Amino acid sequence: MIAEIDTRQARPGLSAFSLIAALLLITTSPIPAASYEMLIGTGPPGSFSYHSGKSLCRIFTKQDQEMTCSLSESADPIDNLTNVQGGSLDLALVDSLLLEEAAAGRGPFQYLDISYDKIRVISPLYEVPLTLLVRSDAQVTTVDQLPGKRINVGPFGSPENHLFKLFMQTQGWTEQMFPVFAELPSSMSQDTFALRQGDVQVLVHRGVHPDSVIAQLMKDIKASLIGFANQGMVDLVTSTPSLSRQEIGKSTYPSLAGTLSTFGTTMTLVASSDTDEDAIRSLITALEQNTQSLQTMHSSLAAFTVEKKAQWFGSIKAHRAIAE
C-alpha cells in the first residue's frame, strides 16, 4: 500500500518537471522572423483609389512572401501625404496636382507649416479627367457656352472645385457669371439629385471612366458628357506640370459621339525618401511583372507602364532606388 501511494505521488512531480522542460524549450528555441507590413494610404472605401490600393497589396504580397499589406483609408488626401512625409505610412496614392502644390507651398498648403521635402514618386498609376455632365435642356455642347448656366462645381476644397476654378481663371470667368454657382457634395447624392431635378444644369465631375452613376444619368435624363477642350485648357496644362491633356474613348459610353478631349490629373504612388531602397526595388519589380494584370483591371489603367524618370510633374523627385 505504501509503495502504491509513493508511486501515485511521484506522477505529479514528473508531469511538472516535463512541463517546465517544455516551456524552457519553447522560450529558448529560435523564433521565425516576423513578416513586415506595408501600409498604403488611399481614399475612402468605395473610391477607385481604395480599389487600386487593394490591387497593389495583392501584387506586392505575391512578390514578397514575407510582406503583409493593408490600407489606411482617408477622405482627406492631405492626411495621406502628411503621413508619408512623417513616416506613419509607407506608401500613398496621391493626386499629381496635390503633389505639385505641396512642393511649392501653394493652394491648400500655403497656410500649413509643414515641409513635404521627403515625398518621392514611385510610379504614376492612372489618369483622373475633369468633365462636365450637362442636361439636355441646357443647350451646352462646348465648354465656352457655360456662362449663364446653373452649375454645380463640387464642395469647397474638393479637387473638382479646385480644378474648375483654376480653369475659370484662364477664361476670366467669375462666379457672378452663373445664375447658380452651387458647391454641393456627392454625399447622399446631393449633386446628382440637383441635376436630375433641374436645380442645376451642369455638373462638374472628376473621376475615372466608365462611371456607373454617369452612365445612369446619361440614360435617364439624356445628359451629355463634354470636355474642356479649348485654348484656356491648353494654356492651363502648359503652365501646370501636374496637369495633362486626357481623352475618354468613344466606346466608354453608348451616347458618346466620338473621343472626348479634356484635361485632368494623375493618381500617383508615392513613398518617403527614407524608405529602404531594396523595398522600393522589390515594389517596382512587382509592378513590372504585373503590368498586364493592372492594365486589364480597369480601362483607366489600360495605359499603365513603369517609367523610370528622375523627376515628375515639374520638380517632384523619384525615389533614389528608381532614379539611380
Give alpha helix (H) positions in the chain: 2-28, 48-63, 77-86, 96-104, 159-171, 190-197, 212-220, 231-239, 277-289, 291-295, 320-323
* Per-residue model confidence as pLDDT tens digits over 13-56: 444 444 444 444 444 443 333 467 899 999 999 999 999 999 99
pLDDT (tens digit per residue) in 198-217? 999 999 999 999 999 999 99
Q: Which domains does the chain have, with CATH numbers?
A: 36-127+267-323 (3.40.190.10), 129-265 (3.40.190.10)
Looking at the DSSP bridge assignments, the partners of residue 70 are 39
What average pLDDT is seen over the chain? 89
The residue among 170, 161, 133, 160 whose CA lies nearest residue 149 is 133
Q: What is the pLDDT of residues 78-108, one digit of tens each?
A: 999 999 999 999 999 999 999 999 999 998 8
- The predicted model gives 191-201 an average pLDDT of 97
Question: What confidence tier does 167 reach under pLDDT thresholds 50, 70, 90?
Answer: very high
Per-residue pLDDT tens over the stretch 219-247: 999 999 999 999 999 999 999 999 999 99
Could you say which DSSP state residue 198 is in?
T
Q: For residue 64, what pLDDT is reported?
A: 85
CA distance 64 to 286: 9
The stretch 182-201 carries a mean pLDDT of: 97
Count of residues in the chain = 324
C-alpha 192/C-alpha 185 separation (Å) is: 9
pLDDT at position 324 is: 67
Instruction: Residue 77: name the closest of 270, 243, 262 by CA.
Output: 270
Specify whether the CB–CB gap between 95 and 244 falls below 8 A: no
